[in-house]
Structure 1
Amino acid sequence: MPIDMSVWQGRSDPEDGNKGLRWHQKVQPADNANESGIMLLGFACDEGVSRNKGRTGAYDAPVAIRRALANLAWHHEAPVYDGGNISCDDSNLELAQYRLAEDVSRALRQRHKVIVFGGGHEVAWGSFQGIGNYLVQKQHVAGNANEAQQPPRVGIINFDAHFDLRNPPGGKQSEKGSSGTPFHQAARFCELHNWPFKYVCLGLARTSNTQALYEKADRLGVLYKDDHELVHHKMEQTLTELQRFIDQCDYLYLTIDLDVFPASVAPGVSAPAARGVPFDIVEMLLEPILKARTPKGEPKILVADLAEYNPRFDIDNQTARLAARLAWTIARAIR
């Protein structure tokens, strides 16, 4: 399917030369990728939100986020490529997630960092599958030379008002998920591959997560913080715990559900937050994640995604601008 580059439009300032460029003048279609950079992928899907009994509309998010990003000033060094959208038009969520995983895995093999624009938070199972498949293949190749290789430690860092650890409706072994199940599915993947399950969830609304979910998180060894704990006078302790988690991971997968922000800041989401976490607190927590490096000096982040933006309920593109700002910040840090 051809990549629609028409969304990349915005202001031009030719009198300022190369120092006056914006994203729409720099993003290239993935077909032009001849050196490693950042691959943008879209996941146009709200089937998972629908299955989770939420309000739909996130299907239109990937295009809306690109439009908001297009006019932002270019302060980056690595090339950025648009790999197009995976669309879920037939309710076959599992196939759409599989196709996203294939695209993520391929981009990682080509030595790109990946940013995915969801879609509901079911995007996370596609993103994590892609990371998993890439590392399984990498492990298999390395394993031929070194049989005693340790399983990779992939740290999932989720900014979210919800754990998204629900058991699928068909039971724990079910393959049929929703926007509420991606990290249950990731835990199952880790269990099947004998990998440690390493998961941090920051910004939980206790009013929106049952006791059963907190108990499950405790059983799985999840590090979590409720929204009311993410305040300035507790930041030192939170940052220490987060850094300890990062240090214990070989790779990171960052996922931001925009419903972690207050509804006044992010009105256009599938489930608006009555309280939420202020943007400046999230920025402080993102800093050590984006700075994390492997022993080889590479960023630990392989993939980042943004989930649950719902243009149908946005006000003056406020939430689109927030998503674009986050994408801009992540892209600048990981390359």
Structure 2
Amino acid sequence: MSYKTLWQGRVDAEDGEAGLRWHQVVKFDNIHSASDTLTLIGYPDDTGIAANKGRVGAAGGPNAIRQSLANLPWALKHTLIDVGDTPVFDELIKTQASFATKVYQALQSGSSVIGLGGGHDIAWASYQGLAQHTTQRIGIINFDAHLDLRKPDPVGTSGTPFRQIAEHCHTHDKKFTYTCLGVSRAANTQALFDYARQSQTRMLYDVDFTLEKAQHLLSPMLAEIDQLYVTVCLDAFPIALCPGVSAPSALGINPVEMIKILQWLGNACTENDVVWQLSDIAELNPTLDSDNKTARFAARIAFELAGAMQYTSHVGKNEQR
């Protein structure tokens, strides 16, 4: 089935433009130069999850998110473009390189980007695309129960992306600026916490997850970066809300607090002249989903990301230096 056929939903013709939904405004153009555009790019790969000993099935995540997004109301100023999925190769590194190229091209065009995963190895691919696009200071916010700082040995997996980013930063003499929100003490080994402290990773535990504490942790970070990348791993949320993930969470974080944080981030980026042009969603496994709960929630997160990013893909502080 073509990803294009998934964009179907209710039509409220009597309401005119005020009644539009995502499926009515989406275009299927190739990436092209245009500001005020939101580009969706699929990453239909779960080989990184398999390599990380997780439950496979997230390759179907992008289409499940599209299907759940289709019927949501459209209230953005952007033009919405879905460029489809990146090709999947036998080697994960090649798939990541292909996705990174698509991200780079979209960012270069002036578009905001939301990646649809797929395993959380999408993060290493997304970061590479952003790093190719800008030489500015990049900050990463990851909503996740897991730190994903495992050693990429011999190759990367869904559990290694931020270690790979840290090593890339070290090699290129850049600061690794990474915050993980929703960390579970029961889901990370001491070795991972040791590396997190060594790499100066900022952490907010799941039991402490509130807007106020997130603001306290993130405000100093926003003051020292120029570009923000936000990634959301669906295993950060309670299993009752998100059963369709590779590694479900017994406790999880409060989804309402998370949405409040995203909304605050949109304003905070504007106030700090931080460009927020890139986000992604990872680990949706439709084969394990119950009543499309996880897909529906992933679509809500994409909806909130798009709204929060809408006014933050502008000229940042470092552009003017």
TM-score by length of structure 2 reads 0.92
- Give CA-to-partner distance per residue, 1:160-187, whole Å, 9 cap, x none: 00000000222xxxxx200000001111
Question: Given residue 169 of structure 2, which amino acid in structure 1 is its aligned partner?
Answer: C
8 Å contact kept, 1:250–1:294: no
8 Å contact kept, 1:292–1:300: no
Find runs of 4+ consecutive structure 1 residues off by over 3 angstroms: 292-297
- Give CA-to-partner distance per residue, 1:98-121, whole Å, 9 cap, x none: 000000001011000110000010
1-side partners of 2:19 and 2:180: how far apart? 38
1-side partners of 2:32 and 2:137: how far apart? 29
Q: Which runs of 5 or more residues in structure 2 are unaligned?
A: 311-321
Q: Which runs of 5 or more residues in structure 1 are unaligned?
A: 140-151, 171-175
Task: Tell me if 1:323 matches 2:285.
Answer: no
SS in 2 for 1:292: helix
Aligned pairs for 1:84-95 (under 5 A) are: 84-88=84-88, 90-95=89-94
Post-superposition shift, 1:320?
A: 0.6
- Give CA-to-partner distance per residue, 1:10-48, whole Å, 9 cap, x none: 111111111111100001013385632111000000000
Cα RMSD of the aligned pairs, angstroms, is 1.7
- Give CA-to-partner distance per residue, 1:189-213, whole Å, 9 cap, x none: 1112111100000111111100000
Which residue, 281, 291, 307 being the options, matches 1:332? 307
2-side partners of 1:28 and 1:65: how far apart? 16
Aligned pairs for 1:172-321 (under 5 A) are: 176-231=155-210, 235-293=211-269, 300-321=275-296
Question: Given residue 106 of structure 1, which amino acid in structure 2 is its aligned partner?
Answer: Q
Question: Given residue 249 of structure 1, which amino acid in structure 2 is its aligned partner?
Answer: I
Aligned pairs for 1:123-134 (under 5 A) are: 123-134=122-133
Post-superposition shift, 1:236?
A: 2.7
1-side partners of 2:272 and 2:83: how far apart? 27
**The structure with more radius of gyration:** 1
Number of residue-to-residue matches in the alignment? 308
Query: Percent of aligned pairs with the same residue?
Result: 42
- Give CA-to-partner distance per residue, 1:297-325, whole Å, 9 cap, x none: 6x621210000011011111111110101
Worse-matched range after superposition: 278-287 or 67-76: 278-287
Worse-matched range after superposition: 3-12 or 157-166: 3-12
Question: Given residue 300 of structure 2, which amino acid in structure 1 is its aligned partner?
Answer: R
1-side partners of 2:96 and 2:145: how far apart? 22
1-side partners of 2:230 and 2:272: how far apart? 20
2-side partners of 1:32 and 1:177: how far apart? 28
2-side partners of 1:15 and 1:284: how far apart? 33
SS in 2 for 1:207: coil
Post-superposition shift, 1:296?
A: 9.4
SS in 2 for 1:304: strand
Give the equivalent residue in structure 1 for 2:143.
159
Give the equivalent residue in structure 2 for 1:77.
77
8 Å contact kept, 1:60–1:311: yes
8 Å contact kept, 1:243–1:288: no
Give the equivalent residue in structure 2 for 1:143.
none
